[in-house]
Each structure stands twice: as C-alpha cells, then as structure tokens.
Chain A
Amino acid sequence: MSSRLRVFFIDNAVAILILLLIAFALPVAKLPASFLIQEILMRLGRDTFLVLALLLPIMAGMGLNFGMVLGAMAGQLGLIFISDWGIVGIPGLLLAMIISLPISVVLGWMCGMIMNRAKGREMVTGFILAFFMNGIYMMIVLYAMGSIIPIINPELLLSRGYGIRNVVGLDGVRQAFDNLIPLHVAGLKIPVFSYLIIAAGAALLIWFRSTKLGQDMRAVGQDRGVSASAGIPVERTRILAIMISTVLAGIGQIIFLQNLGTINTTSSHEQIGMFSIAALLIGGASVTKASIPNVIIGVILFHLLFLVSPMAGKNLIGSGMLGEYFRQFVSYGVIALALVLYEWKRVTRENDARATLRGGGAA
C-alpha cells in the first residue's frame, strides 16, 4: 500500500503543494468570497482556451510547447489590424481570428520544423524560439508597421509616425464575447459565450483525438521508432501537432485580450506561455500526460493563488510586493518542479525497465 501512496504523491506533488499553499494563504488574505468567485469565473473564461492549446503537443510527445507564444503574437497582430480598420463587436473578433490563422499556421509550421531538428530538446528550443520570434515581432510592430505595412488609423501609431503605440485600446471589441449572452446569477456576471467557445475547443480536441491523425499523434508521442516502422510520417505528424497548437494559442490570445480590453503590444504575449504552462502543471498535468480536467482545475487553482498571494503577503509581512514575488516564485517553481519530476521519473523508469530484464541470482 505505501508504495502506491508514494506513487500517488509523486504524481500529484505539484497539485497537492499548491492546494496547501492556497489553504494557508486564503484565510490570511481575507478577501471577500464573492470577489474571489467573480474573478475566478471571469479568468476561467479568459485563460482556459490558451491552456487548452498546450494539450496536443504533449499528446504528440513534444512536451510543454513554450513556442505557443508565437501563436499569441499572431493573435495580437490580428487584433491590431482590426482595431486599425475599425471593425467592432463580434465580427471584429472573428475577423481578427481569421487574420491570425495564416500567420499562426506559418509560424507553427516553422516552429515544428525547428523542433524536429532538435529532437529531445524540444522544450528549450521552443523557449529560445519564443525569444527569437519576439525580436522579429517587435521589429514588425515597432518599425515595419506604419512605414512598410500601411496603417490607416494614425491614432494607433507612435508619435514618430511609424510603429504601433505601446498600449492599444480595444474599445470596439472589449468583452464582446463575454457580454454576448449576459447572465447574472446571485450578483455574479458569468461570461456564457466565452464558456461556449471553450467547450467548443474542448469538444474539438476530444473529437480530434479519435481521428486517424489524433491516433497517429498518440502513437508518435509514445514511440517514434515503432510509429516510423509502421509507416506513420513522424516528422509531419509532429509539425501538425505544433501547428494546431499555435493556431489555438492565437485564438486563445484573442479571447484573452478581448476580456482585458487593451493590448500592451510589446509585453502582453511574453508571459502567456509561462502562465498557461504553470496553470496546466498546477492542474496535475505532467510533461507526457495532460487532460482537459487538468486544464480547468489548473486555471482555477493558478488564479486563486494569483489573487490570494499578494494580499496574503500584505497582511502577513506588510508588503504587497512580497506576495507578488511569491506568486512569481510559485509560477516558475511549479514548472521547475514538474520538469525535475518528469526527468527524474524518466531516469528511474529506464533503470526499472532494465531491472525486470535482470536474470538475477534466481537461476
């Protein structure tokens, strides 16, 4: 019995740790319950789709897709264009998604190709690729737009005549999805339409898992060699997994920003990758196994912690900054812990596998 318990604790170490932290910080933060619930409901609608985008690459054995930031950039470019053309409301958001499609498809294809060249190091390659593409994105947004790429609406441009402003207001599309089907229950505003989109995304993933391509991805994820010898195009399948993940990340970023209502062009996409991955891991997912419940639990716990820790820091030691640092520590620490557990289990699994082969003294 104890070994099974030990395995349970190791597998869910991350989730248990976070639950303890919240249980400790919640009473100290003394935040009103209604505020917390309202915030969690809003953030569920805002972030879940982004975390959903991470599931496919995990299924295809490429680990946590730090390259999803490329999709976020595509989504942001879409939003910049529609606010330039002045398209508002739901049509504006849908048009932004359509614009982001070709961009995230190309970026996803490129990311998949590069990751195929760095097999075994996909995660750190995605991580560095995100920084590299951030440089290119900044070049496009701060220098190409307005000069090479025509921008109609001068209000969007920086004072020097080219480059997009630091903060772009999305007044035309602010919370368009959230308020489409307004629902007030016991004083709480519930973004029904956003939940519908997330449900649609989840349904798409479940349906996709049962297609031939989904089955190929599961096979490639578990053993590239065997899949190749069975004739599955391994390289193409991995690239498709990354492409779909990047496209979903683009759409997720549009949902995220319409809820926020503003884009800060140079920074709102950078933290997305890290927050979504931290949330997924808090939900109990690992580098090789992730499911939709992990996504939802992860988003709830992550944001509960996100809200509670600054207040707890303020009430406990009197400085809000402490809580802020503690929150960032937990986000980074959770990813570090999950990665260590994954590699450590991989190493011990390899040794155990050989042990079963052991002829051993029992001749």
Chain B
Amino acid sequence: MTARSLIQRSCALLGLLALSAFLFYIGKGHTLLVDTAAVTIDGREYSSAETVSVSIDGREPESMGRAERTMAQVGGPRHRITIEVVSGGGQKVEQRFVIPTFLDTALVSVPAILGGAPRQHWVTKFVAPAAEDAPAEEMQQQEQSTVLAAPPAIKP
C-alpha cells in the first residue's frame, strides 16, 4: 500500500462522503403548507386579497380563497413562489425563498409575502396543533395484519 495510493483512497472516500452530504442537502424533501390566512407580524396585520392563484416552482397554479391551506411536496432547499391576485389590482409577485434542510414541514404565509413583510417571516416551522386528530391513528389499522400472521407456505 504505497503512500500515494493511501492518499488517493482516502480522498476517494472523503469525496464519496461529501457527495452523500451534498445529495442529502439538495435532495431533502419538504412538505410546504401554503396558507392564505391573515397573520400579524411585529404588530402589523397582513391579510391576503379575495382570491389569489399561487404556483410553487412553476407548477400548475392553484387558486385559493381568503383563509385556505394547500399542501405541496417539494425537494431541495431553494424554491420559487409566484402569487397573482385575481380579484382587484391584478398584482403579481414572484419571490425566491430557502427552506432549512432539517425543516420537514414548513408554513408559507401568502399574506406575509404579498404584504412585503420581513423575509424571515415568510416561511416558518409548522407546529402541529395537538387538538387536531393526528393523522397517524387511521394508519395503524392498515398494518394490524403484521407480516408474521400464519403465512400459508412454510418458508424454508
């Protein structure tokens, strides 16, 4: 094992690890909850227009009412949101934002972006309110038949 090949091999290994970290970073999936409900930031209250059509990363735009919420699955940290106010002024806003890697579910406030609130309030960590029936319950019934229920053919 010459010194040269030792160095080369460790470089290759580090390269692989770096690549994995990079893939992790650009591949991390997030769930975006696009919310049009009114929100108060630093005392100032922002409310969205009657109906707006919102499109994430150039996907199919979705029209949303005053206090609605839609979900979108996205991959990677950098995203683009285009909001177009349908009723009245016809104002069109396109903004870029970044989601921190380890944030699984993020709340995107349309009024904050439309109203030009400070950037850090656009995307906030979504905290699941306890009251709502956690979606996990009904998933349980589905697995009751665990894999070890008497399998017909006796596996070797």
Contacts and interface: CB of A to CB of B under 8 A. Distances in A.
Given A95-B24, A155-B136, A155-B139, A87 B29 contact: yes
B136 A154 contact: yes
B147 A142 contact: yes
Nearest to A142: B147
A206 to B, nearest CB: 23
A83 B118 CA distance: 34
Interface residues of A, number: 26
Interface string B139-156: 110011011000000001
Interface string B9-23: 000000010011001
Contact of A91 (B16, B27, B73, B147): B27
Contacts of A85: 24, 28
A86 interface: yes
A95 B21 CA distance: 9
A201 interface: no
A242 B107 CA distance: 49
B98 interface: no
Contacts of A155: 136, 139
Contacts of B30: 86
Contacts of A145: none
Contacts of A98: 16, 19-20, 23
Given A91-B27, A95-B20, A166 B75 contact: no
A88 interface: yes
A108 interface: no
Contacts of A261: none
Contact of B156 (A87, A88, A131, A172): A131
A88 B19 CA distance: 15
Given A89-B76, A92-B75, A166-B143, 7 more contacts: A87-B29, A95-B27, A98-B23, A154-B136, A159-B143, A160-B146, A166-B147
Interface of A: 82, 85-92, 94-95, 98-99, 131, 142, 154-155, 158-160, 165-166, 171-172, 265-266
Interface of B: 16, 19-20, 23-24, 26-30, 73, 75-76, 104, 136, 139-140, 143-144, 146-147, 156
**What are the nearest 6 A-B pairs in CB distance?**
A91-B27, A88-B29, A87-B27, A88-B75, A91-B23, A95-B23
